[in-house]
Amino acid sequence: MREKNIHPVFEQVVQKERKEKFLQQKAHTLWLTGLSGSGKTTLGIAIEQELLKKGFLTQILDGDNIRSGINNNLKFTRKARTENIRRISEVTKLFLDCGIITINCFISPNEKIRSLAKDIIGRENFIEIHVNASLETCEKRDVKGLYKKARLGLISNFTGISSPFEPPKNPEITVNTGELTVENSVKQVLDYVLPKIKYI
Ligand code: ADP
């Protein structure tokens, strides 16, 4: 609900189209969803490097970074996860309005949460990428040692162990990181994304 004494100036701000022209790119959100350890951050960083080489300006928004800053007061309950995604989506929108391509690395474990993100960001800007690796693979990787802790009951609401992960129903891309190299995963994403972000 909008506060009565707030007067947004959306119309007076330089429009997204002019900024996209300035940057010679079309702003989109690459939304990477998947289990912890599935490869969202690894892939996000590698995608950013490739895009930068090709002249695209991007911004990575990553779960752990966001949770240590703007969202450091949020836990992992269903309600807090929803608020986490709502704030992230609003921040994403600011980047998009600036013509910047965002790479969002968030577990975002269910349709409801991803749908909220799509509604805020705009479905036309949203490229849903399922970073897909089995729970077994992610647990074997255990990059941050979190699965071990979750199995010991030291972390509550841990996705895949004590909290569900609903795979997206119709993602634009599914990257099987359990089978592909990082390089081939990046290639798969870029083959789809490049035509969409090119300025024509
Ligand atoms: P997340 O951000 O989803 O929690 P991370 O990127 O932190 O996951 O960890 C993923 C791990 O999987 C890394 O150690 C990475 O090297 C490894 N990995 C193996 N194959 C791939 C791939 N194709 N894409 C991304 N990561 C991969």
Rounded to whole angstroms, how far apart are CA atoms 14 and 98?
A: 9
Confidence class for position 167, pLDDT limits 50, 70, 90 = very high
Q: Report the chain's mean pLDDT, rounded to a whole number.
A: 94
Rounded to whole angstroms, how far apart are CA atoms 167 and 107?
A: 10
CATH of the domain at 37: 3.40.50.300
At 81 the pLDDT is 87
Dist. CA 23 → ligand 1 center (Å): 30
93 part of a folded domain: yes
- Structural domain boundaries enclosing 60: 16-134+167-190
Dist. CA 197 → ligand 1 center (Å): 25
10 part of a folded domain: no
Task: Identify whether 108 is a catalytic site residue.
Answer: yes
Dist. CA 177 → ligand 1 center (Å): 7
1 part of a folded domain: no
Q: What is the pLDDT of residues 143-153, one digit of tens each?
A: 999 999 999 99
149 part of a folded domain: no
Query: Which position among 108, 134, 156, 185 bears the catalytic label?
Result: 108
Q: What percent of the chain has pLDDT over 70?
A: 96
Rounded to whole angstroms, how far apart are CA atoms 54 and 40?
A: 21
Contact between 175 and 189 (Cβ < 8 Å): yes
Task: Select from 67, 129, 143, 185 the residue to mutate for testing ligand 1; criterion: most ligand atoms less than 8 Å from CB.
Answer: 143
SS3 category, 197: helix
Q: What is the pLDDT of residues 65-76, one digit of tens each?
A: 888 999 999 988
Among protein residues, the one with the nearest Cα to ligand 1's atom 10 is: 39
> For the chain, how many structural domains are there in total?
1
pLDDT at 12 over 70: no
Mean pLDDT throughout 86-93? 96
196 part of a folded domain: no
For ligand 1, residues with CB inside 6 Å are 34, 36-43, 105, 141, 143, 177, 180-182, 185
At 64 the pLDDT is 83
Mean pLDDT throughout 148-166? 95
At 13 the pLDDT is 65
Dist. CA 28 → ligand 1 center (Å): 23
| Biggest distance spanned by C-alpha atoms of the chain | 54
81 part of a folded domain: yes
SS3 category, 59: strand
2 part of a folded domain: no
Taking CA atoms, 160 is separated from 5, 136, 141, in Å, by: 44, 10, 14
Q: What is the pLDDT of residues 40-65, one digit of tens each?
A: 999 999 999 999 999 999 999 998 88
Q: What percent of the chain has pLDDT over 90?
A: 86
Among protein residues, the one with the nearest Cα to ligand 1's atom 18 is: 39
Contact between 95 and 19 (Cβ < 8 Å): no
DSSP state of 7: -
DSSP state of 45: H
Token pair of 91, please? 């921040």
pLDDT at 2 over 70: no
Residue 123's contacts (CB-CB under 8 Å, 6 or more residues apart) are: none
At 197 the pLDDT is 98
Ligand 1 atom closest to residue 43's alpha carbon, by position in its atom list: 25
